[in-house]
Every structure is written in structure tokens, then in C-alpha cells.
Amino acid sequence: MLRFLIRRLLLLIPVVVGVATLTFMLMHMTPGDPARTYLGDRASPQALAALRHQWGLDQPLWRQYLAFMGGLATGNLGQSMFFHDSIVSLLAIRLPPTLLLMAIATLFSILISVPLAVWMALSRGGAVDTAVRSFNSVAQGTPLFFTGAVLIAVFSLKLHWFPVAGYGKTFGEHVVSLILPSIAVALVIIPFLIRGLRGALIDALNSEFVNFAKAKGLSRRAIWTHYALRNAAIPGISILGIQVGYLAGGSLVIENVFAIPGMGTFLMKGILNRDFPVVQASALIFALLVIFVYLLTDIAYGLFDPRVRVK
Amino acid sequence: MTEVMIEKKRAGLMSRIGRTGRRRGNTHLLIGAVIVGLIVLMAICAPLLTRYGPIDQDFTATLQGPSWTHLLGTDNLGRDLWSRILFGARTDLFLATVAVAAPLVIGTAIGALSGYFGGWFDTIIMRIADIVVAFPFYVLVISLVFIMGNGVGSIFAAISIVSWVAYARIVRAETMVLSSTDFVDALKVGGLGSGRIVFRHLVPNVVSQAIVYAMSDIVANIGVIVTLSYFGMGIVPPTPDWGSMMADGQPFFAGGYYGLMVVPAAAVIVTSFGLSLVGDGLANVLRVKR
Amino acid sequence: MKTTRVTARLAGLAVGLALGVSALAVTRASAADTPQKGGDLIMLRAEQLRTLLPSQPTDNASIWPIEEVFNTLLVPKQDGSGVAPSLATSWEQSKDGLDWTFHLRHGVKFTNGQEMTSKDVKFSIEETSKPSSPFAFINAAITKVTTPDAYTVVIHTAKPFAPLPADMAIFANSIVPYDYAGMTPEAFSKKPIGTGPFMLKSWTPGVEATFERNPNYWDKGKPYLDSITFKVVADSNTRANEVQGGQAQIDEFPAFSSITALQNSGTAKIGTYASSRVDFLSINTQKKPFDNVDVRRAIASAVDKNTLVKVVLFGHGKPAGAYMSPSSWSHDPSITGYPYDLKAAKAFLAKSPVPDGFKATITVASGNSDQQTMAQIIQASLAKLGIKITIQTLDPSAAYDAKQNGNYDMGFSYDTTDIVDPDEIIRFTGSYDGGSHGLYSFYKNKEIDSWIAKAATLNDQDARQKIYFKVEKAWNEAQPLVPLFYTPELYAYASNVHDFHPFVTGNYNLADVWMSK
């Protein structure tokens, strides 16, 4: 297991370098001058030049790239041009809301999907099965921003159950504020998860092992807990991993709708302002999040599937 | 546990959209095909189904409710909503479908070669795939839109750059399985060249997985196009498109003009619904194990 | 100036689901007229606060909080008709017109306990005059600042300079303690010390900043509020929702398209306030065929300003004539621009080198639904002249860059003034060297430039007005830009917020604002 982990971690290096390089290239290719964006119309040429110098934008591009990669290697992500603060301290503000959002959304997805999938697998072709499957198809096609807008209109403005937007001040408030956005996000994950789980459960229940167990007189409960659910956990985890990975990027959309001060809004503002260090750092963080979730997925395989338990 | 196993699991699961009872597969396909067919037909015949051009402004008839003159009412520029929905279908469906084609072809080719040859070629391709998958999609899309300007070209490029990976992974995994069978050994013994083996014999055998995945990919593409347009980074006005229609309609929602936002949203949802039914049905007809 | 920095839809989608408002127009609460103390006000805005160093910012998101933390020598009158005392209680100009003497208020303390004296004023003005300050141009006429005693400041100019008092009322000339009370400018910008009604309590960059009441504020009894929090909410739909849901009290700049919606519900009010803002269709006069005056006149005659006001502003503005705002005494009401008349437009075009029309683009900022609406309307009417317009969407920063560098055909811009004197804006939009190349028109007219320069040296307002009228007339003839409409300022706010009334110059004095329970 340890060797496996080390190998996976080493494989991260080319990905990180690749993502960092790609972001650097993309940002420097976009038209728009950060100094001009910052200083506005009236700025004198001297003021513009001074600011470009301060930000290191007067250096040749390859030198800027080397400085950026060098900083990265030593863990120095630099200073935000627009926030006048170090990237690391800004990340400390922005990362927790996004992580909490992802965590709650994942929790909702599991809590809703697992019981539904079991129910569906038990009543294949029944009313519940058909209803949930239709709902899945609808949910899958609904744009995230629209779900968010509808949830706000109904649960915040009409029913006043939840805050309209924002993140609150205490941990309790954070959680309450994130319930609606998490549901919106979960509604993207759930269709995939339910389908995967349902299929795996049906596969498992139809397998020879289960027939044998039944013949042997094992209790329904034992069959479910020891075999069917355990077996379905593997595809479930993979799907969850892939979806949560995608959603790390999708937080851009939902954080905007719900005004959550997380990585998504941070990144968007960075792109609009041409705040290069902010974009580079947050793109990297998103990439690391995705990789990290995949890594967790791989480890979970080993935990749940005895066949891939590593020597 | 090996890389290959993980890769294969992941690839297989990516296309796991659902496991449908074979019997109902055809029903799904039928219902889905009818819905999608109707929408496509409406998009093609758009000029016959409305008297109004999608960009014809009429400032004497702004923000009207549904009526016999304007079936779904008008927007703030007095443009006919029904007409804009019809012509919007042309924009969005066309782009979503076209944007599937390139990744499907490229991804399948790369995946087949990668799976067949393995070795350093495979390693490089898969590391590139890792980078693409890990790279935040919206950063890529937004930067491309900023660099190339709004419009069809940037959306197409962005989607293509990202989505070949899924096809490559699916096809690669299938190819790897097939390559280890007697079938391929027999072909090799028969003296066939690698290129011929891959593209004449392997690809036809593994492509159905990719095609099934493509159906759900169209749904995803519609989502991306609509979201980008909603955020003002997609289709350029005055070309009608469902996403920008939703964005333009949203401020009027609270004033009671629900249709301006809800109708295009409904169009998106119904279209996606139809397409996922087709995908489900197709999976069963093609006997794809998902 | 306050540049045409526009909020992207991503950063500020149009406006919201279900808002609530009772009556429109310049509503001010009449019930319970006695101000009450207390209350925490949350104000939502699209943009983040960047710096609290008065000499630095060019963005409203930084400028307006600075005005709550610091005072200036003088303040604009609310209606923009002139200036009123603040840290200076009186001021006079010397006979030769070259020296301005300001007498400072006694006993004003900075929030660190130090008394505000002439030394601080001299330091503050000199900081903003440094070339590195983007607002140095505002102090360009100043040659020297002297301090005869602790409560007297004399400002010397090379030529008589009438706009000087107005320039002393701009945020950039806010009074900071001498030598930033020993801090570096960088440190000071994060822990500012001012004399204003509020002082910084906490600041999470890019998220929110909270300011609490200055208990020792020199204007006794004020401010009423315990605290104000400026919170960044990029999406304008979300801002509107939050005000309606009671989570926040004021929404800075709701979209005009949301007014109807806001009127229909009951929890929030909409305030429209006179402002100095004028919106223009920018034309790049360096490019062919826009260098031809008849082409520009044809375009101006083909733009239906009344429809724009109706469709974009929902009737809350006025079609524009002269390029100076009616909020300024320099505005010439007799100039009505080019009325919407397609026949006249065709006639103008027939006289030009391109009688049958041409192809061009209108550049709009992505996510700006107002600009996109205007572009589509203008596109449709120019098509009738044979002018084929393609709409090009660029993200706000790139769109701004394109205008700055003259890399565009047509686009949208607006100007607002920072000072009550017309000098700033008549240059900014009318003169090539006024900061924005004539609001991105790149139009050069030496005559206009010399008139503007001359007017600034005159003390007699009537004489200046005559010259400004002449400038506006000549400009109108040339029509380097098409003035579209005079735009009111728009806020949505909770019904328990009282005495909130922004000035013509855009700033708002939150010291006067109070909340009922």
C-alpha cells in the first residue's frame, strides 16, 4: 500500500507541472493589461510602468515563468496583485467554504442515493423505480445555476427556511448557509450515483454467490450487508470520486449564485481582474483537489474490494 | 492493485449511465427518440412554425404575456419568445452535437492506439489525460473564451480539448481487454499490420461503448453551452440561445414574467431528458455492458 | 472619472428572482423622522475594496469606504451646486487669484487620538500630488502648500485656478495623519487612521469589510449607525435577493431591468437619485469611415434615444443632448443632439464617402446585459442605413483594453464626475488629453482644448459657463460620440433604512443614515 501511495504521489508531479504551465500560458495569452485594469483611465504612463515593474510584468515571459515555477517549488505562491495580500493567507480564507460545500454535498448525495438505490433494486420496474429514474433524467439535464435560482426562490424567499445567500459567521451558520447550495450540487451527483449503485446492486443480487447464499439459508440481512452493499460500494465510490472531482470546478457556478466566498468566486474574480498569481494558485488548488479525490477513490477500492487489496 | 485495473474501472464507470432491463430498453429508446426527433424537427422547420424572426424587435409589444399573436409572449425588446426558443434549439443542439463529433473521433483513435500499443506511448497519453482531467474545466473554457473571443469557436475548442479524454479512456480499456484475447493474436498470426488491426478490427468492436457515452456527452455539452451563455461568455447576441435567454429573462422573473426564464429552462430540461432516454435505450440495444 | 469598469454577468448577473419594493422614485422615509442610534448596516456591492489609502484607488468600491473613514477639507453639496465646509470651516482666494487659504476646524482628532493640524493637510495633499498617484492630475495646478500656523493652510497655484475648492472635496485629497503616523503606506492602507465617522474594524480581502462608529467623531451626535459592512456579492440577482430576504440593507446598483420587479413586492425600496452620469455610444474616430463627421452624424440620427431610455432604463432617465450632465451648471439645455430621424440619417450618409453603408463591429463587455440590449437595438436601426453591425463580446477587462488602445469600432462608455466643478469631466470626455482620449473617441480639437484650458483660469462662473456652452456646441457639431442618455443612480434598500441619499458625485455620506427598528 505504501509503495502504491508513493508511486501515486510521484505521478502527481508531472500533473502539477502540467497544470501550472498550462495556466501560466493561458493567462498570459489573454488580452487585457492588469496594471491598466487596476489603475484606470487616468493613470500616467509612469504609474503604469511602476506598477508593472512592481508586479514583475516588465520581465521577459520566460523569466516570469521561471520565477513562478521556482516559487511553486519552494511553496511560495506569491502575492495577489489586487488583494494586496499573500496568496497563502487568501487561500486560508477561500478554501474552507469550498471544502465544506463539497463535504456536505457528498454527504447529501450518499444519504439520498443509497436508500433510493436499494429500494429501486428491490422493486425493479415498479413505480418507485420508474419515478426515480425519470427524476434522474430530468435532474441530469437541469443546469446548476437554474436549480440554485429555483431553490432560493422557493426555500429562502417564499418559505424563509434558509438564508438567501452568503456564508455566515459561525460554523453553525456556515452549515446552514451551505444547505441549499449543497442540495443543488448533490442533485448533479445523485443521478449518476443512483444509476451506478442500482446497477451494481442488481448485478450482485443476481450473482451465483447470492443464489448460493440464499440456498444455504443465509438471512436477507446478511446477504445485503455482507455482499450486495459491499459490492456496490466500489462503483459507488468511483462515481462519487469522478463527480466530486468535476464539481470542484463547478463550484464556480454555484458559489456565484449563492455568494459563497470560496475558491470558485476567488478564481473568477482573479480571471476577470487578470490577477495572475490568484488564477495560477487557484487553478492549481482545484487540480490538486481533483487528484486528491481520485487518490482517495483508489485507496477506497482497496478497502472495499478484497480482490484489489494490495500486497 | 495496478494502474490498469484502476484505469479500466474508471473508464468503465464513466459510461455507466444505468443498467436497464433489456425489455424496457426499447421503450426508452422509442420515447427518447420521439422527444428528440420532435425537437430536431421543430428546430429544422423553425421558419415554418412562426411568423416572427427570432431577432425582430417590436418596441410597441415588449414584455407581453402569452397570446394568440405571440404564443409564449415577448421579451423586453418585443421579440417573440416562441420564435427565439425554436431558433435557439438550432444554435444549441447543433453546437452540442458537433462538439461531440471531434472528441469522439479523436478520443477513439487515441484510445485504441494507446490500448493496443501500450508502452511509452500509452504512458504519455495517459499522463496528458491526467493533466486535462485535473485541470479545472471552467478555467480552460473561460481563458479560451477570453483569448479567442466569445462565440461558437471557443466553445467548440474548449469542449474538444477536454472531452476526448473520456472517449480515449473508454476505448483504451476495451482495447486492452480485446488485445489480450485470441482474436487479436489470430489477426497477428494472420500477418495483418498494426494499423489495420486497430482500425479495421479493434475499433469497430469497441466503438459502441463510445457511442453510447456520446449520447450523455451531448447532454453535458448542452449544459456547458447554456451555462457559458448564461454567464455571458457563450453565444454572441443577437443569435438566440437558451442560456442567454435565461440570463436575460432572470431580472424579470420577480416582476411576474416567469416565462422569460422558465421557458428556455424547460426547453433545456426536456431536450436533455429526451437525449438521456435515447442514451439509455441505445445502451440496451447495442448490448453495451455498462 | 470612475472608469467604465463594468460588472461581468459572471460577476454580476442581471437581477433577481422575486424582489420587493413599494414605491419608486426618490422615496425617503417620512415616518418616524427622528433619527435613532444603533443598527448594523450591510451594504452589498459587486466589487471588492482594494485599498484604504486615499491617494491610490480609482475604483468606487475603494473610494466610497475611504469617504467614510476620512474627511476632506470641503465636501460637495448634495445637489452638486458647490462645496460646503468639512475639516476646513472657511476658505478664501487671494486677490491675484493664486493663493487659496483654508482655515481648519479646531479640536478634530484622528482615531489614534492625535489632533489634526495643517501639517497633516500639507502631507496629505502632497501625497496625492506625487506622479505615482493616479489622481495626481487633480492637484496638477498646485505649486506649493504652506502652513503659516497649525490651523491655516495656504495652497499656491501657478495660474488662477477656479476649480481648486472642488478639488479639495475629492476623496483623493482626504486628510491622513502626517507621515501616515509612522506607518508605511502599505501598512496604513490596511490599518487606516482617519477623522471620519467610521473606522475600520475588520477586513477580509475580497469578502467583506466592517467599519464601526468613531465614538469621537467631531460632528457630535453622528454617526447613527453602530457599524457598516461592505460585502462583496458579485451576482446582482443574489444581491437583490439578499435585500429582499432581509439579509442586507442596501444593494449598490441593482440592474435597471429589475426595477419593475422590485416595485411589485413590499420589503425593499428603490431609490433613484440624480447623478452626473452620462452614457455614450463611443465611436473610434481614428478609424475609417468614422473619421468622417457625416458618418457620425448619420449614426447619431439613427439611434433612437427615446427607445433606449424606455427599454434599457425603463423610463428612468432622459435622452441626452449636450455631453455635460444636466447636474452641472455647465450643461447647455439648448443642445438637443441629433433627433431620431432615419431620413436625415440617410441624407447624412449620402454626403459621406460611404453612401451605401459599410460593415463595422460594436464591442460590448460580456455579461453586461444593458450593453448587449443597446447593441442589439442600435444594430437593428443601423441596418436600415445599410450599416451592417456585428456584435463582438469581450470580457470586461479585454473590452476596456480594446477601448483604451483604440482597437475597436464602436462601443459603450459612460462618465461620472468626482468633483462638483465641471472642469474634470469636460476635459475627460471633450479633450484628447483629458485622460481617456475623449472617452475613447480619440477625437482631437485644438480649439476645444484651448477653450477648456482658458475657462479653468476664470473665476466668474457666468464667463466660464459661456465658454463651456461654446465647447458643447462645437462638440455636438462634430459628434465624436453619441450621447445616449442622462442616467440616474439607482439603489435598492430595505424599508427601515432612512436618510440614505447619494450625492450627484456618487458618494454617499453614511454618517447621516439611520435605521428604524
Q: What are phi and psi of C149, to 5 degrees?
A: -150, 180
Q: Is C371 on the interface with B (CB under 8 A)?
A: no
Same domain, C385 and C471: yes
pLDDT digits (tens, 9 = 90+) for B107-125: 999 988 888 888 888 889 9
- Nearest residue to B241 via CA among B51, B92, B124: B92
57-86 in B: which are within 8 Å (CB) of C?
57, 59, 62, 76-77
Tell if the CB–CB gap between A164 and C58 is shorter than 8 Å: no
* B260 or A219: which leads in pLDDT: B260
Same domain, C440 and C512: no
- pLDDT tier at B5, thresholds 50, 70, 90: very low
Counting residues of chain B whose pLDDT is more than 90, the rounded percentage is 32
Q: Is C407 on the interface with B (CB under 8 A)?
A: no
Q: C-alpha cell of A134?
A: 425519470
Please report whether residue C417 resides in a domain. Answer: yes
Residue B22: closest C-alpha in chain A = A125
Per-residue pLDDT, C308: 95
When pLDDT is averaged across residues B255-275 and rounded to a whole number, the result is: 91
| Residue C211 near residue C200 (C-beta atoms within 8 A) | yes
Of B55, B76, B150, the CB nearest to C366: B150
Same domain, C141 and C290: no
pLDDT digits (tens, 9 = 90+) for B129-180: 888 888 888 778 888 888 888 888 888 888 898 889 989 988 888 888 777 7
Q: What number of CA atoms fall less than 13 Å from residue C216's CA on the CB side?
A: 13
Same domain, C314 and C221: no
Per-residue pLDDT, B23: 53
- ipTM confidence: 0.85
When pLDDT is averaged across residues B215-225 and rounded to a whole number, the result is: 89
| Residue C349 near residue C295 (C-beta atoms within 8 A) | yes
Distance from CA of A160 to the nearest CA of C (A): 8
CATH superfamily of B10-289: MetI-like (1.10.3720.10)
Q: C-alpha cell of A135?
A: 427524476
Per-residue pLDDT, A174: 94
Same domain, C269 and C288: no
Q: End-to-end CA distance of chain B, in Å?
A: 22
- pLDDT tier at B287, thresholds 50, 70, 90: low
CA distances from A145 to A240, B108, C13 (A): 21, 32, 11
- Dihedral sign of CA atoms B132, B133, B136, B142 in order: positive
Q: Indicate the helix (H) or strand (E) that contains C102.
A: strand C99-104
Tell if the CB–CB gap between A164 and C241 is shorter than 8 Å: yes
What is the CB neighbour count within 10 angstroms for residue C168? 27
Same domain, C516 and C386: no
Same domain, C289 and C361: yes
Same domain, C302 and C390: yes
- Nearest residue to C472 via CA among C416, C431, C418: C431
The domain of C202 spans 25-273+500-517
Per-residue pLDDT, B18: 40
Tell if the CB–CB gap between A41 and C436 is shorter than 8 Å: yes
Residues 6+ away with beta carbon under 8 Å from C346: C298, C385
Spell out, as residue ranges, where chain C has pLDDT lower than 50.
1-31
Task: Give start and end residues of each alpha helix (H) in A74-86.
Answer: none
Same domain, C210 and C290: no
Query: Domain holding C142: CATH number?
Result: 3.40.190.10
User: Which residues in chain A touch residue B128, judged by CB atoms under 8 angstroms apart?
Assistant: 18
Q: What are phi and psi of C314, to 5 degrees?
A: 50, 40
Per-residue pLDDT, C75: 93
In chain A the domains, ranked by start, together with CATH numbers, are 2-73 (no CATH), 96-310 (1.10.3720.10)
Distance from CA of C39 to the nearest CA of B (A): 29
Per-residue pLDDT, C225: 96
Per-residue pLDDT, C179: 95
Test mutation, C235, C251, C311, chain B, max B CBs within 10 A: C311
pLDDT digits (tens, 9 = 90+) for B39-57: 999 999 989 999 899 999 9
Q: Is the pLDDT of residue B17 over 60?
A: no
Where b means 16+ CB within 10 Å and e means fewer, B198-218 reads beeebbeebbbbbbbbbbbbb
Q: What are phi and psi of C181, to 5 degrees?
A: 50, 35
User: Which residues in chain C touch residue B233, judged by CB atoms under 8 angstroms apart?
Assistant: 10, 366-367, 393, 395
Test mutation, A145, A164, A295, chain B, max B CBs within 10 A: A145
State how far the Cα of C136 lies from the Cα of C138, in Å rounded to an integer.
5
Please report whether residue C7 resides in a domain. Answer: no
Q: Domain count of chain C?
A: 2
What is the CB neighbour count within 10 angstroms for residue B29? 20
What is the CB neighbour count within 10 angstroms for residue C26? 12
- Nearest residue to B33 via CA among B284, B289, B286, B280: B280
Spell out, as residue ranges, where chain A has pLDDT lower than 70.
1, 42, 249, 302, 304-311
The pTM (predicted TM-score) of the whole model is: 0.86
